[in-house]
């Protein structure tokens, strides 16, 4: 989609009018052109949707931050003694005054724009009916996705389904909104995704760079699976299963590396992806947090295929060196234990990580003093002797569908082998190559096996924290430390409340109706 590969002027006129959630809800727009005079023809409406997707891509970093950083896969040891800006998140040290995320993750600004889009497009008469329905399907799916992230991050949150401030309501008292319950937020999310699919109807999923019917079905499957596992019903499980089974015409790439390869974008495994391109945009590029901070430490790189103590030092085998000094420090990394969890013949191992070592050559035999990994999944492409991290980032792909179906089958008491083994077969280069094929066991054994598979499959795809919260051993979520598995990151008795994130004081001081997330200390005046 070429339009998504440029900065849309529409964003300047409309989407950039408001810069923060709470301020947005209390300040009227000074320039009415963006709304009152904008909705005049089909091109404007279509471009607004393109702008909404550009804004969606701009939140890529936040999706990773919320969905992965607390999942236990990130190392809290920095090999270069540089600052780790997200260390309080990685170490679960989030509190009211160090919340890790401010301003409701910034999601109410795009929600506001989606509310406006839904309101205006429903009233438009000049759009062809099929086009109008498709656009509304996209808008409802996108809004459902934002609220689903908010639910999994904060629990109950304020619900805004109308663009009040954009349609003339500037009364601060009237604009205040308390947090709804988790059940109420989940009901809104379910209603939005079901409404999306009603609008999509039988439309085909043509554009993998925008919300499409199959992406909406994937989201519905994930929402209803979450609901079923966290206190829902067997009916929710059936809804999740039926939605995922309705996603057809996709297949696993034979080579895991090809899923993300720059030269093989929009391949048959991709259901919905955020697009990046050389000269246009690269993977999340936020102050002190860029993709390249996961994969460069020039003084330690070494060919890991050579015996320790032999080989070239001070080399850059991944050709990552750049002139920006901020981008030549490995600020973040995954734990070496995660790398070691892969079987040696699992092709995901070397397609995800490049392992390297620092050795002490003054000892006999040489001793390894640093064991580390660089992230090479999404390694991008080299253009004009410079590496660009411009691989697409999948929101949903076929492997995710299969492993969610495995989880559903296990929850139903069925055998998940066919789903999980398909993913393993690809990982080992084809059926019959898996040295330790999956063996159906009891529910807990299967759940742990599915989680282990997801932790290897979806590195840097923003899923592990949510997986820990959703998946269970017995009746206990994997997020809690347990003698039954090695994956827990929170002690339930002392900090179990930290499954949800706190809000900073700036939110409840701006809106006294908003209460702090339960469990966190607050100095909020009564």
Task: Express each pLDDT in 14-32 by its tens digit.
Answer: 444 333 333 333 333 444 4
CA atoms within 13 A on the CB side of 367: 4
pTM of the model: 0.90
Q: Do 386 and 322 touch, CB atoms closer than 8 A?
A: yes
Question: Which two tokens mark 45?
Answer: 């409406």
List the chain residues with pLDDT less than 70. Answer: 1-36, 78-83, 167, 286-289, 296-315, 321-329, 522-526
Q: Can you tell me the distance from the alpha carbon of 390 to that of 183, in angstroms, rounded to the nearest whole number?
A: 39
pLDDT at 286: 67
Same-domain check for residues 220 and 235 = yes
Q: Can you tell me the distance from the alpha carbon of 3 to that of 97, in angstroms, rounded to the nearest whole number?
A: 40
pLDDT at 358: 72
Same-domain check for residues 219 and 355 = no
Which residues constitute the domain of residue 448? 204-275+397-458
Q: Is 371 helix (H, G, I), strand (E, B) or coil?
A: strand
pLDDT at 308: 41
Q: Is residue 418 part of a domain?
A: yes
pLDDT at 333: 87
Same-domain check for residues 241 and 332 = no
Which residues on neighbouring strands pair with residue 273, listed in sequence order? Answer: 394
Say which DSSP state 524 is in.
-
pLDDT at 38: 84
Q: Where are the beta strands (DSSP E) in 279-352?
A: 285-286, 289-290
Picking from 224, 270, 274, the residue whose alpha carbon sits closest to that of residue 247 is 270
Q: Do 357 and 370 touch, CB atoms closer than 8 A?
A: yes
Q: Is residue 452 part of a domain?
A: yes
Picking from 35, 30, 26, 32, the residue whose alpha carbon sits closest to that of residue 174 is 26
pLDDT at 107: 97
Same-domain check for residues 402 and 257 = yes
Q: Is residue 313 part of a domain?
A: yes
Same-domain check for residues 408 and 385 = no
Which residues on neighbouring strands pair with residue 482, listed in sequence order? Answer: 485
Same-domain check for residues 290 and 385 = yes
- Total number of residues shown for the chain: 526
Residue 365: asked if its preceding bond is cis (omega within 30°), the reply is yes
Kindly give, in sequence order, each residue whose CB lies less than 8 Å from that of residue 424, ignoring residues fewer than 6 positions away: 434, 437, 438, 453
Q: Is 343 helix (H, G, I), strand (E, B) or coil?
A: coil
Question: Which two tokens mark 1?
Answer: 């989609």
Q: Do 89 and 95 touch, CB atoms closer than 8 A?
A: no
Question: Which two tokens mark 134?
Answer: 């498709």
Q: Can you tell me the distance from the alpha carbon of 208 to that of 1, in angstroms, rounded to the nearest whole number?
A: 9
Kindly give, in sequence order, each residue whose CB lies less than 8 Å from that of residue 43, ignoring residues fewer than 6 positions away: none
Same-domain check for residues 387 and 402 = no
pLDDT at 465: 98
How many distinct structural domains can be found in the chain? 2
Radius of gyration of the chain (CA): 23
Picking from 110, 272, 127, 126, the residue whose alpha carbon sits closest to that of residue 199 is 127
Q: Can you tell me the distance from the alpha carbon of 329 to that of 293, in angstroms, rounded to the nearest whole number?
A: 6
Same-domain check for residues 386 and 445 = no
Q: Can you tell me the distance from the alpha carbon of 145 to that of 210, in angstroms, rounded to the nearest whole number?
A: 13
As a whole number of Å, the end-to-end CA separation of the chain is 52
Q: Is residue 372 part of a domain?
A: yes
Same-domain check for residues 223 and 371 = no
Q: Is residue 319 part of a domain?
A: yes
Q: Do 307 and 343 touch, CB atoms closer than 8 A?
A: no
Same-domain check for residues 295 and 379 = yes
């Amino acid at each position: 989609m070429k339009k998504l590969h440029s900065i849309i002027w529409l964003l300047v006129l409309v989407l950039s009018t408001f810069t923060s959630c709470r301020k947005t809800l209390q300040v009227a727009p000074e320039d009415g052109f963006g709304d009152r005079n904008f909705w005049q023809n089909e091109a404007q409406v279509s471009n607004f949707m393109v702008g909404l997707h550009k804004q969606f891509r701009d939140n890529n970093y936040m999706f990773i931050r919320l969905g992965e950083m607390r999942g236990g896969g990130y190392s809290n040891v920095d090999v270069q003694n540089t600052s780790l800006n997200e260390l309080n998140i990685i170490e679960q040290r989030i509190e009211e005054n160090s919340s890790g995320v401010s301003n409701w993750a910034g999601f109410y600004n795009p929600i506001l724009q989606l509310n406006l889009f839904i309101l205006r497009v429903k009233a438009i008469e000049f759009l062809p009916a099929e086009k109008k329905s498709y656009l509304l399907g996209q808008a409802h799916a996108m809004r459902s996705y934002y609220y689903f992230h908010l639910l999994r991050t904060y629990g109950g949150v304020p619900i805004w389904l109308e663009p009040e401030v954009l349609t003339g309501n500037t009364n601060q008292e009237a604009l205040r909104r308390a947090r709804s319950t988790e059940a109420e937020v989940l009901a809104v999310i379910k209603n939005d995704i079901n409404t999306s699919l009603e609008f999509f109807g039988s439309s085909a999923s043509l554009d993998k760079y925008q919300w499409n019917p199959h992406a909406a079905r994937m989201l519905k499957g994930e929402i209803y699976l979450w609901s079923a596992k966290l206190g829902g019903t067997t009916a929710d499980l059936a809804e999740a299963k039926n939605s995922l089974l309705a996603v057809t015409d996709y297949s696993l790439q034979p080579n895991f590396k090809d899923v993300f390869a720059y030269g093989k974008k929009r391949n048959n495994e991709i259901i919905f992806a955020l697009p990046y391109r050389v000269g246009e945009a690269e993977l999340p590029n936020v102050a002190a947090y860029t993709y390249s901070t996961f994969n460069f430490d020039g003084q330690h790189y070494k060919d890991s295929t050579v015996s320790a103590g032999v080989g070239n030092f001070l080399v850059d085998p991944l050709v990552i060196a750049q002139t920006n000094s901020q981008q030549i420090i490995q600020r973040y990394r995954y734990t070496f234990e995660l790398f070691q969890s892969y079987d040696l013949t699992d092709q995901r191992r070397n397609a995800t990580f490049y392992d390297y070592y620092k050795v002490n050559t003054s000892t006999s035999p040489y001793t390894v003093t640093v064991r580390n990994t660089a992230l090479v999944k999404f390694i991008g492409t080299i253009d004009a002797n410079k590496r660009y991290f411009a691989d697409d980032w999948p929101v949903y792909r076929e492997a995710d569908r299969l492993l969610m179906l495995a989880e559903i089958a296990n929850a139903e008491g069925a055998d998940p082998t066919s789903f999980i083994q398909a993913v393993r077969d690809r990982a080992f280069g084809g059926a019959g190559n898996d040295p330790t094929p999956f063996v159906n066991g009891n529910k807990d054994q299967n759940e742990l096996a599915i989680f282990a598979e997801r932790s290897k499959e979806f590195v840097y795809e923003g899923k592990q924290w949510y997986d820990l919260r959703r998946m269970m051993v017995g009746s206990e979520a994997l997020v809690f430390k347990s003698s039954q598995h090695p994956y827990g990151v929170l002690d339930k008795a002392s900090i179990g409340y930290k499954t949800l994130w706190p809000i900073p004081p700036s939110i409840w001081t701006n809106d006294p109706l908003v209460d702090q997330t339960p469990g966190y200390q607050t100095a909020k005046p009564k």
